[in-house]
Structure 1
Amino acid sequence: MRFNHKQITFAREYRGYSQSDLASKISGLSQPNLSKHEKGFDVLSEDMVIKVIDYLGFPKDWLFKNISNFSENTHYRKRATLTKRDKTSIELGNRLIGHLIDQMSDSLEWPEFKHVPLDIQEGHTPKSIAQHARKMLGLNNGVPVTNIFSLLESKGIVVVEINAHVKFDGVSFITDGGTPVIIINKGFSNDRKRRTLAHEYGHILMHCYFAIPSHRTEKVREQEVEEFTSEFLMPEKHIGPMIRNLRIGDLAELKRYWLTSMSSIVRSAKELGFINNDRYVYFNIELSRGGRSDDKLSVFIDEPNLFAEAYNIHKKSLGYSKEELATAFNLPVDIVEKFLEPNTFRIIK
C-alpha cells in the first residue's frame, strides 16, 4: 500500500517530535530508517507506518492526503525573535486550517471571491490597487474602514483568528481548493489586528494570484504591501488635510477617527511629506512615554464569522459530532477541538 511519506513528517512535526525522539518511542523504529522514509524511500513496512501514525494520534487515512497550503504562497508578518520551532508550529497550524476550510467546502459553498486582483507588472501601483479595493468595498469619500472583518468576508475571504502565544501577526494564502484565507493572531490590540488584516489583504490582491518575478524580492513585496496598507486604511487624499500641521495632541482624535494606531498616523505623516525626520523622531519619543501610549486608547473592531458559521452548520444543521467530523476530515479529534471548537462561542450574525 502506497502512503504519502510527507504526511508522516507533517504529523511528527505537528506533535513536536524530532526523528530521534520519535524513534526512541516506538519499538523497532530507527532514526535512519525514519529519515529515509520521510525522504520518500519505501524502507518502512506497512505495519511500522501504521504503528508510527497511531502513536502520533492521526488516523490511517491521513496517510493518503496531500496537503499543501504551504509557504510558497503564504506571507508572514513576524518579529525577528520568532524561532524556527515557533514558525513550524504556526505554519503547520495554518496548513491544517486551510485543510479544514477545503474539507468543509464539500458540504457548503464559501462566498465567491468577488475581487479582481490587479497586477503591478501591468502598470498598477500599490496605491492605485488600494484605491480600487476601497471602491470595491464601498468605502467612498474617505470613510474609515470600520467593519473590516465583515468587509473582507463579504468579498469571499475566509478570516480566522487564532490564539498564537508567540510573536506572530498574520498570514495569507490560497488553499489547495482555491479559497483565499487570512489568519491573524487574536491576542494583539485592535488597531494592530486591523493593520494586519489590511496588510494580508494587500498580499492577496497583489501577490497570491500572480507569478512574482525574482527582482520583486520579499523586501520589495513587503514595501509594496505597506504602501497598499497605508493608502487602504488612511487614503492620502483624505488624511492629508488632517495631518498637514500635525501636533502630538491631535493623535488621539485621529486614532479614534481612522481606527489605526498613533504610530501608523505618524508614519503616514512622514511618508506623505508632512513632517521631516526630526519631527518623526520627536513624535515617536513622545509616543514611547507611558502617558501617550497607543495601548491606552482602544479602537473598535468587529469579528469574523465565516469559519465559525461553517462549523456550526456542520454541527447543528448537518448533525455532525466533532468525532464524526474528525473521521470525515481524516484528522485527530484534538485538531478539530483546537481549531474549530473555540469558534463556536461567537455570535453568528
Structure 2
Amino acid sequence: MSVVKTVRIAHEIGHLLMHEAMFTEANRAVRDAEKEAHVFAANLLMPERRVEALLPHHASLQQILEAKRYFRVSAFAMAYRAHTLGRLTDWEYRSVCSELGARGYRTGEPKGISMETSQVFAFIARSNLAKGISTTTIAEETGLSANELHDLSFGNLIAVTGGNESAKDSAGSTARPQLTLHVNTRMNG
C-alpha cells in the first residue's frame, strides 16, 4: 500500500469513528472534522511516545527521513508530526519542508514504500472468477455498486457497467450497449 494510501485510510478511519452524524454548520464543521481526522491519523500511524523515542529535539532532515521509513508515512507527514510534538521548532519545520520540496517530496515520495496488495481480495476475486461469479452478482448480493466494490477491493474486483441497452444507432436499429471499465487510478499515486 502506498504511503499516501496508508495515511488516507487512517484519516478516513478517523472520520468513521468520530464523525458519524451529519454536519449542521457545513463549512466550519468540515474544517473541524478534517483537522480531527488528521490528528487521529497522526496518532494512529505515528504514536507520540514512539516518535519521541525515535526523534530527538531539533531533528535533522536525515532523522526525519529515517523516521518516515520507520513509520511508513510521507516525509511531510513525519515532519509535521515532529513539529507538533515539539521535535522541530517553527523555523526548523519550515526549513525541513523547504528542503523536502527542493528534493521532490511535494510531488511524490522518492525512495517511497512499495505498494502493498491485498492477498485476501486477490484470492476472493480469483475464486469468484473460477466459479463464474461476477462483480455484478456480488454487487446485487451486498447492496453495493460495482464501482464501490472495485474501490473497496483496491482494484481486485473489476467493475464493468452496462450502458443504455435500448440505444438506437443512426439507422434506427438497436445498438450494442456501451460498456465502461472502471479502473482504480487512485492506486497509482
Instruction: Give the TM-score normalised by structure 2.
Output: 0.63
Counterpart Cα distance in 2 of 1:276 and 1:206: 30
Residues 1:284 and 2:110 are matched in the alignment: no
Residue pairs, 1:1-349, within 5 angstroms? 190-208=2-20, 210=21, 212=23, 214=25, 217-245=29-57, 246-290=59-103, 295-305=109-119, 308-317=122-131, 319-320=132-133, 325=137, 334-335=160-161, 338-339=181-182
| d(CA) in 2 for partners of 1:203, 1:305 | 26
Q: CA deviation at 1:269?
A: 1.4
Q: Secondary structure at the match of 1:219?
A: helix
- Residues 297 and 228 (structure 1), Cα distance of their counterparts in 2 relative to 1, 3 Å cut: same
> Once the 2 structures are TM-superposed, how far is the Cα of residue 276 of structure 1 from its aligned partner?
2.1
- State the AA in 2 paired with 1:276: T
Q: 1:291 to 1:338 in 2, by over 3 A?
A: closer
1:288 Cα offset (Å): 1.3
Cα displacement (A) at 1:307: 5.1
C-alpha RMSD of matched pairs (Å): 3.6
Q: 1:302 to 1:269 in 2, by over 3 A?
A: same
Q: Is the 8 A contact 2:76 2:97 kept in 1?
A: yes
Does structure 2 retain, via aligned residues, the 8 Å contact 1:194–1:301?
A: no
Between Structure 1 and Structure 2, how many residues are aligned?
149
Q: Identity percentage over the alignment? A: 23
Deviation at 1:298, TM superposition (A): 1.2
Shift of 1:211: 5.1
Structure 1 residue 264, shift from structure 2 partner: 0.9
Give me the whole-angstrom Cα distance separating, in 1, the residues matched to 2:105 and 2:127: 45
Deviations 1:91-120 (A, max 9, x none): xxxxxxxxxxxxxxxxxxxxxxxxxxxxxx
8 Å contact from structure 1 (residues 191, 299) kept in 2: yes
Aligned partner letter, 1:282: S
Q: Deviations over 1:12-71 (max 9, x none)?
A: xxxxxxxxxxxxxxxxxxxxxxxxxxxxxxxxxxxxxxxxxxxxxxxxxxxxxxxxxxxx
Q: CA deviation at 1:204?
A: 1.5
After TM superposition, the score normalised by the length of structure 1 is: 0.36
212-221 or 269-278: bigger deviation: 212-221
* Structure 1 unmatched ranges of 5 or more: 1-148, 150-189, 344-349
